[in-house]
Structure 1
Amino acid sequence: MLRGVFVTGTDTGVGKTVVSAALCLAWGAAYWKPLQTGAVDGDDDTAAVTHLAALSPEQVFAPGRVYGEPAAPERAATLEGTEVRISSLTPPQTSAPLVVEGAGGLLVPINADETMADLMAALGLPAVVVARSTLGTINHTLLTLEALRSRGLPLLGVVMSGPPSAPNREAIERHGGVRVLAEFPRLDEVTPAEVARLAGLLPDLKVTA
């Protein structure tokens, strides 16, 4: 059985890759992004996490599929005349905890009838939800938590990204019944040193499936 976490977000561009790198560094974890889109624009989250967390080759696993279009996997695959099924995405074998980074948010479609939530369920890993810290995040985060719970998916906690906001953190923890694991400030420059600093903000958690 896999052990680790599935990193999802309340939106695209919310900071999942930086959080994934920090988790890998904090927990000595391996990294896998099953579905990478946006290759035509140079998007390569696997390379980014490898660099930011100084991962060894044994800690990095190639994406299951890579698509050129910066779009949801269903759309990106359709543009290339293909379709991906969750059953075709074989999780890597590793003795280390595994950080799996999703594409976009929880309900992003993978194909006509499967979403990121279905992939999370298939892997059996608890979610770490990356959420913005700014105005609007309470609603977005609580909706994501509700979607997780309505599907019976396990939840480890939330990482907030952006300027610290004590009121938003308190509201998310109270109304969402969830632990905010850390608040990551916005970085002027994303470097290995900065990611190492962020990793130090994460609690020492037992990572289990």
Structure 2
Amino acid sequence: MQPIFITGIGTGIGKTLVSAVVTEALGGHYWKPVQAGFDEGTDAGWVGERIGAKRVFPELYRLRLPASPHIAAREEGIEISTDRIAAALPEVRPLVVEGAGGLLVPLNDRQFVVDLIKRLDATVILVSRNYLGSINHSLLTAEVCRMHGLRVAGWIFNDQYLHYEQEIVRWSGIPHLGSIPFGKIPGVEFVAEQAGKMGPALRRALGITQ
């Protein structure tokens, strides 16, 4: 089974919450190889508090500056290497890998998140948060997936604004896997509840029979 890569239509759209839900639903493990900014905690720490720290692998790049990864790395005199990330990929499956920002976020001066997905030969789950403008951002993201020949399992929608998930699904041609309602405190119980609801659809989409 290939790793499952969680990416989305931008920053702050709920990839970490979706990553926790997907990991819990599949009984898998979580890894975010590149963390940029951690003064308010890390995404790995957030996920670990909700599904158990033993199921979370430490970051390969832990960068202090909350900025685009290529800038944060440059500030520390290093360069992010997709080859190094691929070599460090945990062998456990199911493995959920959370990306940084969206598909065209730069990792270094030459490569973007989309290049990392291809290097890992990962199956993609796209996250879209419902807000004014997200139709455009969602369809642009779907177009980049097509341009690069990515293997996409489907959409997971987060938050509530207006009900246009099915239009994004129809226009993009990418299946709907689930919707996560807005929760003020998405804690352990919330993640477990959403995982239970989404599990069957996720397993079918990913071809998991056990």
- TM score, norm. by length of structure 2: 0.91
Superposition pairs for residues 53-202 of structure 1, below 5 Å?
53-55=51-53, 57=54, 59-89=55-85, 90-94=88-92, 96-163=93-160, 165-166=162-163, 168-202=164-198
Contact 1:52 1:192 in 2 (8 A): yes
| Percent pairwise identity | 36
Deviation at 1:8, TM superposition (A): 0.3
Deviation at 1:157, TM superposition (A): 0.6
Q: Is the 8 A contact 2:26 2:199 kept in 1?
A: no
Do the aligned residues in 2 keep the contact of 1:4 with 1:99 (CA within 8 Å)? Answer: yes
| SS of equivalent residue, structure 1 residue 122 | helix
Residues in 2 aligned to 1:194 and 1:170: alpha-carbon distance in whole angstroms: 24
**Whole-angstrom CA distance in 1 between matches of 2:41 and 2:118:** 26
Shift of residue 23 of structure 1?
0.6
> 2:28 corresponds to which letter in structure 1?
A
Structure 1 regions of 5+ residues with no counterpart?
none
Letter in 2 for 1:173: V
- What does the per-residue CA deviation read over 1:81-137, in whole Å, with 9 as the maximum and x for residues that have no partner? 11111111121121x200000011111000000000000001111111111112211
Relative to its length, the structure with more helix (as a share) is 2
Q: What is the aligned-residue RMSD (CA, Å)?
A: 1.6
When normalised by structure 1's length, the TM-score is: 0.92
- Deviating more after overlay: 105-114 vs 183-192: 183-192
Distance between the aligned counterparts of 1:36 and 1:43, measured in 2?
10
Query: C-alpha displacement at 1:200, in angstroms?
Result: 2.2
Paired with 2:170 and 2:47, the residues of 1 have a C-alpha distance of: 32
| Contact residue 4 and residue 208 of structure 1 kept, 8 A | no
Cα drift, residue 42 of structure 1: 2.6
Contact 1:3 1:208 in 2 (8 A): no
What residue identity is the alignment partner of 1:19? V
- Structure 2: distance between partners of 1:133 and 1:48: 22
- Name the count of aligned residue pairs: 203
Q: Which runs of 4+ in 1 moved over 6 A?
A: none
